Structure 1
Amino acid sequence: MLHIPAVHTVFHKEMLFEAMALLYDIGTPLKSQFVSNGLNDTYSVETNTGKFILRIYKHLWRAESDIRFELDLLTYLKNCILPVSYPIQRRDGEWLTELDAPEGTRYAVLFSYADGAGKLNVDTSQAYGSAIAQLHHAMDFYEPKHERFALDAAHLLDEPLRAMLPFLQHRPNDVAFVQETAGRLKARLAEAANGAYDWGVCHGDLHGWNVFHSDDGSMTHFDFDCCGVGWRSYDLSVYLWDRVHGRSDSESFEDECWDAFLEAYTKERPLSEQDLAMIPVFVAVRQLWLIGLHTGGSTVWGSWQDDGYFDGKLKFLAAWVKAHNL
């Protein structure tokens, strides 16, 4: 019999929540689902006391201190009476549960359930922009208690490039384009690292689908897995990036949802002209970060990053940097 090491484990959901019910005061599990295999594994469970979300962090994806930073931030935001999906402590007061997986130790965290659904239109974009301004304002006063990586040039550009370039070796023209573009973008980030730009704790993944809207107009923010200290203009740029990436001409880069989002945000929390000017730069940075994320995670998600994938991703990047003279 061959023994082949595993790189990623999917746990038996019923047995998983039987174990969680012994650790957390959640009642008796009635129905559970394996929701998604994303950056981490997400499970949902319905018990006789309510609904909950369990996230199991992938092996080596986040260090323990990184996770504790996220959980402490969410607890702080909850205490600020902001609508977030927050972590739930175990009966013994601990936040993390270590799981002995074949690939190594993995961390599990139980979260409150986010009611509502994803909804993206001009009205929700406006409400979301205002809500993110409030989130950033609260984060201005947060004092981290745990170490975590920064959303800086190393994280947003250097690490993604190391992951993606081996996938492009048969496309030398694209290697040159990516390296030249990344070099120009990195120079812009270096200029913005002088302390004069809005820098603070960020959500890191504000693409508009990490928030659920309810019929009464309320919303719940969730998935702070990409949070960290960084440029606030990067945080905002992710919303614009989600609206335009995949488009390939400058005329299609205008977007009313983005306009509504930014107008609502700046009405609550004004941004300097230099911070606003960095947003198109960060859209391009985000596109490279995404490619690096996909290629770097190929051992778990599969190597579906083929020529068609790169054709589409790099076509948008080329059109965007040309339209904005980056």
Structure 2
Amino acid sequence: MGSEIKFDAIHSILNPKSLAVWASDLYFKGEDVQCQILKTGINHTYLLKIGTEKYVLRVYVKDWRSKVEINEELRFLLNLKKEGINVSYPITNAQNELINELNAPEGVRFAVLFSFAEGDKIRSLGKGHCNTIGKTMASIHVSSLELNLKRVKYNFAELCEKPILALHGFFEKKHPSMLILGKIESYLRPYLNSEIISDCPTGAVHLDIWYDNMNINSDGKVTLFDFDFCGNGPFVLDVAYFLTQLFHSEADKDVYLQKADVFLKGYESVRPLKQQEKDLIAQSGIAVWVFYLGVQARRFDDWSNMFFTANYLKHFVGLIQNWANYYEIDFDIKQK
């Protein structure tokens, strides 16, 4: 009796073998395509091999991004490619289209084929790497100055208010970590709503530049990818988020300071930071980390449920506090 019931799906992982046949027909004129799963995270990523050539296929989770939002992400990437900036860029199919629609069990999902970023992910970045990353980030910001994407605008509501509201659906307001987040929200409000940040240069931002979203080859060439969180906002958000990642990966904070310095020097060799931006690096880093807690809450059903617990929340908030303590931030003290 039960076997006669047809169940809907809220989340599926598409078979690499089926995708290989699909990609062969639509992109590679019937050539033999090898396809394997790279990652099933926020979206699903597959590695495609045709002989010695490699490509990356991203299959967006259903209803995660609209077609308009994906179009804007790809427009951003193609603009960066045109400017000669090293990014993984989208590739058109046989119909000269960038976005494909796949009939998945849960409904239509979008898929895009990207160029392969040569090199490897390097968790412990050297000083030379940090300098190059700084130059690359600044080049992206110069290219996207005042660029307006039809995507999210990263402001106080998106970075703090909405994420913390989403967390209330999982944790009690009186949970110690939630009480700290409430203080963080109150602390950040005057900074992210101030004239100081409104005077910071804005444009299209990546918002997720860290070692896991770049490959570095043997010559030190850095290629960025995964612009899934790109949107509109002050450039200092990208600068701050990279520095927070660098901070948490370096146990020796003297080494962190040295790498942060060469990163910032690389960045400023391309685009000098305004004093207002420098003054907001510590607060901006906190804001982006709060934002990503909200992402984990929003994607509990199909991604974060394996780790999204009260202990994890305590750990994550602890990381924010470590960064804040290092920069002598007291969440009980608000901006005057």
**TM-score (normalizing by structure 1):** 0.91
Q: 2:334 maps to what in 1?
A: none
Q: 1:276 maps to what in 2?
A: 278
Q: 2:131 maps to what in 1?
A: 126
Q: 2:194 maps to what in 1?
A: 191
Q: Distance in 2 between matches of 1:252 and 1:159?
A: 35
Aligned length: 323
Q: 1:148 maps to what in 2?
A: 151
Q: Distance in 1 between matches of 2:82 and 2:41?
A: 28
Q: 2:236 maps to what in 1?
A: 233
Q: Distance in 1 between matches of 2:46 and 2:214?
A: 17
- Structure 1 residue 171 displacement after superposition: 4.5
Q: Distance in 1 between matches of 2:68 and 2:242?
A: 27
Q: 2:109 maps to what in 1?
A: 106
**Change beyond 3 A, Cα 1:277–1:325:** farther
Conservation of the 8 A alpha-carbon contact between 2:47 and 2:57: yes
Q: Distance in 2 between matches of 1:312 and 1:232?
A: 27
Q: Once the two structures are superposed, what CA deviation does each residue of 1:136-190 show, in whole Å capped at 9, x if it has no partner?
A: 111227565xx21112222211221122122221743333221221122122100
Q: 1:217 maps to what in 2?
A: 220
Unaligned runs of at least 5 residues, structure 1: none
* Identity across the alignment (%): 27
Q: 1:181 maps to what in 2?
A: 184
Conservation of the 8 A alpha-carbon contact between 1:97 and 1:107: yes
- Structure 1 residue 228 displacement after superposition: 1.0
1:34 equivalent in alignment to 2:50: no
| Equivalent position SS for 1:257 | helix
Conservation of the 8 A alpha-carbon contact between 1:116 and 1:214: yes
Q: Distance in 2 between matches of 1:253 and 1:173?
A: 32
Moved over 4 A (4+): 141-144, 250-254
Q: 2:59 maps to what in 1?
A: 56
- Structure 1 residue 245 displacement after superposition: 3.8
Equivalent of 1:66, from 66, 69, 77?
A: 69
Q: Once the two structures are superposed, what CA deviation does each residue of 1:228-275 show, in whole Å capped at 9, x if it has no partner?
A: 110100011111111224899x96895332222112111221111111
1:317 equivalent in alignment to 2:320: yes
Equivalent of 1:306, from 302, 306, 309?
A: 309
RMSD: 2.4
Using the TM superposition, name which of 115-124 and 21-30 deviates more. Answer: 21-30
- Structure 1 residue 58 displacement after superposition: 0.7
**Change beyond 3 A, Cα 1:192–1:98:** farther
Equivalent of 1:16, from 15, 19, 25?
A: 19
Q: 1:137 maps to what in 2?
A: 142
**Change beyond 3 A, Cα 1:81–1:246:** closer
Conservation of the 8 A alpha-carbon contact between 1:157 and 1:288: yes
Q: Distance in 1 between matches of 2:18 and 2:189?
A: 47
Equivalent of 2:264, from 255, 259, 262?
A: 262
Q: Distance in 2 between matches of 1:223 and 1:105?
A: 21
Conservation of the 8 A alpha-carbon contact between 2:177 and 2:313: no
Q: Distance in 1 between matches of 2:312 and 2:59?
A: 28
| Equivalent position SS for 1:150 | coil
Conservation of the 8 A alpha-carbon contact between 1:88 and 1:109: yes
Unaligned runs of at least 5 residues, structure 2: 332-336
**Change beyond 3 A, Cα 1:134–1:259:** same
Q: Distance in 2 between matches of 1:17 and 1:192?
A: 52
- Structure 1 residue 3 displacement after superposition: 4.0
Conservation of the 8 A alpha-carbon contact between 2:247 and 2:323: no
Conservation of the 8 A alpha-carbon contact between 2:62 and 2:109: yes
**Change beyond 3 A, Cα 1:200–1:35:** same
**Change beyond 3 A, Cα 1:22–1:6:** same
- The one-letter code of the counterpart of 2:59 is I
